[in-house]
Chains A and B, each alone.
Chain A
Amino acid sequence: MTEIRHLTYLDAIAEALSVEMERDPNVVVLGTDVGGSFGGAFKVTKRVATQFGPRRVRNMPMTELAFIGAASGMALMGMRPVVEVQFADFISTGFDSIVQFAATTHYRWGAAVPWVIRAPSDGGIRSGPFHSQNPEAWFVHTPGLKVVAPATPADAKGMLLASIRDDNPVIYFEAKPLYRSLKGPVPDGSEAIPIGVARIAQEGDDVTIVTYGSTVHDSVQAAAELAGDGVTVEVIDLRSLKPMDTDAILESVAKTGRALVVHAANRMAGVGAEIAAFIAEEAFGHLDAPVRRLGGMDIPIPFSPPLEDTYRVSAYDIVRTVREMVAW
């Protein structure tokens, strides 16, 4: 019988690493400051660093391009490296290794590159332009990669297990504002949650919100407030951005006739643009109002609290937008 405990989002990730490293000796962790008694800038790898030591939790010099490339080489030789980039913002320093080599290899010559990059993303914690980013659109735009963005502790664990076991390069965006602020039920054991299957975070009939990551929680909060208006909102937590569960989106929009896409990343050419276009192309006949999008402003992410709060999507923005959609 599976025991249900309540863990923080961070502890759920740490547990997934521990479970999979115990299960599979080919899993190693690479990253800057991940090992030793330090255990990572956010302490996500502290548990496995203590449990498995420096042979399997390996500190890297500050050379993301090289150690992500090295992860590809290890993966080609049958290992399953899990790379931590200290902040998702720094993933740009490893871009060629990801989008040119790893993403294209299986299509070009048939060799699998099974690595995971864990990318602590998202802001709201007063960290400024270079420690707050959500760069998932770059990778959703890249054929050959898989991209996931869990929003709950249970998904954080189950989807990291699935990502490590996947035979493709997977970018795993973990929303760092949830690390210690969010606690939830997490099954014991080693069961993976499949990549590519959305979750209905809340059922409703009037408006569909398609979202992922930290804005799932803002959307659920907005839905609670909108219930007071007599409006029921269905919140779809995509969980996986590439592949994307488009059936779940279509099914919900067919029911509600209204779709709002919400993400923390800036709106311009973001993942929401693709989802909105998809709904317009595939579900136009079901729509009672134009598809709407909410995302960050098209500016570098500012530091100072009133500026960052203005930049970010809030539950209030979601409530206001849904009210406009219902009144349309």
Chain B
Amino acid sequence: MTESLDSAGKLNLAYWMRLTRTLDDALVAMWKQGRGVGGTFSGRGHEAIAVGAGYALGPDDVVAPMHRDLGCYLVRGMSPERILANQLGKEAGVTKGRDANLHGLGDLSLNIIGFVSHLPQSLPVALGAAMAFQYREEPRVALTFTGDGSSNTGLFHETLNLAAVQKAPFVLVVENNQYAYSTPLHEQMAIDDIVVRAPAHGVVGEIVDGNDVMAVYSAVAAAVARARRGDGPSLIEAKTMRMLGHAIHDGAEYVPAELLEKWQQRDPVTLWEAALVAEGALSEATLERLRGECHDEIEAAIEYAERAPLPDPATIGTGVYAT
């Protein structure tokens, strides 16, 4: 995996981020219109992290994304149809109506592990996948994401420690989006940078601009390469801002407006599109076409998901156990 990208790769990043934003915007709109089921989560502001990290993985690598990582599911091959169907509780959803919104969006045929609400739980699970690769001497890497909130849990530290002791091919991306639900960073921790928790456990740590997709991609690609070489785990702290509430019901009035305005100037999707236009890799016309394609793709997916059947209550008890 190279740590820089050719122009096709750079355009791919633009496509996946725009597709992510389009789907994210559609979800927010649908839920506000009362077309949703239960709640949903927006990952607005996190697109560069989710897409950049997901794009840096090889085809056989495993990822355990969370609820801000819509772009990662997409870039790893989960279709908008299946994601939308899941959000609407449909039989055609990834969980066949068993789990809500982005929760449980796991599919081992895509090397994606689904998450539970107890967020740091994905950390040791991804580490275990990495330990399996190491045990079988397969050149594969496991990557997972977590937030500033769960970086305060014991399990975050337990996992980093265990990953370092095992020298496992494991990469952890911490999406520091300034808030754990309504609680700002300074009420969560007495440090400025979460990354300082990495060297305490013997894990390599790095800070990246989470709104710069190329920076995220490069840092994650380097960490993945290091893991694949057998040089052990890494933590990447991607600093960003959660641009909407914790979930759809949350207006996030507790976030100062000037903070959001500041981060809005650095919107990760438009930032990357503007950079590509500036360097001549993308024309305004191509960009317009790209946006149109994403719009059409998501509209078709919505139509499919809304028409898809709900699960049959008679199936409620199936699948609790593997045969």
Q: List residues of chain A with CB under 8 Å of any chain B CB.
A: 28, 55, 60-61, 63, 65-79, 81, 96-97, 100-101, 104-114, 143-144, 146, 167-168
Contact = CB atoms under 8 A, between A and B. Distances in A.
Contacts of A78: 132
A174 B105 CA distance: 35
B142 A73 contact: yes
A235 B125 CA distance: 41
A324 to B, nearest CB: 39
A109 B322 contact: no
Given A65-B124, A108-B99, A111-B108, A73 B118 contact: no
Given A66-B158, A73-B129, 13 more contacts: A55-B135, A63-B159, A63-B161, A69-B127, A69-B155, A75-B128, A76-B128, A77-B128, A100-B116, A106-B320, A107-B320, A167-B321, A167-B322
B130 interface: yes
Interface string B91-123: 000110011000111111000011011100101
A168 B323 CA distance: 8
B225 interface: no
A73 B130 contact: yes
A109 B114 contact: yes
Interface residues of B, number: 42
Nearest to A96: B118
A117 to B, nearest CB: 14
25 contacts: A66-B123, A66-B155, A66-B158, A69-B128, A72-B124, A73-B127, A74-B131, A74-B135, A76-B128, A77-B132, A79-B132, A81-B128, A96-B118, A96-B155, A100-B118, A101-B116, A101-B118, A101-B125, A106-B319, A109-B99, A110-B319, A114-B322, A143-B320, A146-B321, A167-B322
Interface string B127-169: 1111111010000001000000000001100110110010000
Given A69-B121, A104-B116, A109-B114, A168 B322 contact: yes
B130 A107 contact: no
A142 to B, nearest CB: 11
A61 B161 contact: yes
B126 interface: yes
A109 B321 contact: no
Given A74-B131, A109-B99, A114-B322, A61 B121 contact: no
Contacts of B117: 100
Given A67-B162, A111-B106, A97 B121 contact: yes
Contact of B319 (A60, A96, A107): A107
A196 to B, nearest CB: 11
A66 B157 CA distance: 9
B301 interface: no
B9 to A, nearest CB: 28
Given A101-B116, A104-B116, A167-B322, A63 B125 contact: no
Contacts of A69: 121, 123-125, 127-128, 155, 159
